[in-house]
Amino acid sequence: MAIDPAVLEALAPVGVSAVFLGTMGWVMTTWMRVKNGYPLESSWGKPMLPARSAETEERVKLVAQENAQLRAELSGVKDRLAVLERIAVDRGARLAAEIDALDTKALN
């Protein structure tokens, strides 16, 4: 049973395109993994981690330090927001009493 040459000619571009797109997808996936620091896998399925340098370690420390600072700042902002929300929904004499209490704390 022979395959008609016309059918092969019609299917050849599809096969070549599939192989090309599959290869390009693999290359892009590998590039993205390397760029973002994810481990690659060897042919045996074991992770191959990219080499770390002193510069990389220093950058990780700086990012961790900045993250801690931002978290501290965010907690302060959350506290201030809670106070502002309480003031916004509070009415009347209670609000005036709290403002007076804050004034006396500032003077002491």
Where exactly are the structural domains of the chain?
A: 1-50, 51-108
Q: pLDDT (tens digit, 0 to 9) for every residue of the chain, 108 residues total? A: 678 888 888 888 998 999 999 999 999 988 898 888 777 777 777 777 666 788 888 998 999 999 999 999 999 999 999 988 877 776 666 777 878 888 777 665
The predicted model scores a pTM of: 0.39
Task: Please choose, from the candidates 98, 20, 21, 15, the residue with its C-alpha nearest in 3D space to the C-alpha of residue 7.
Answer: 15
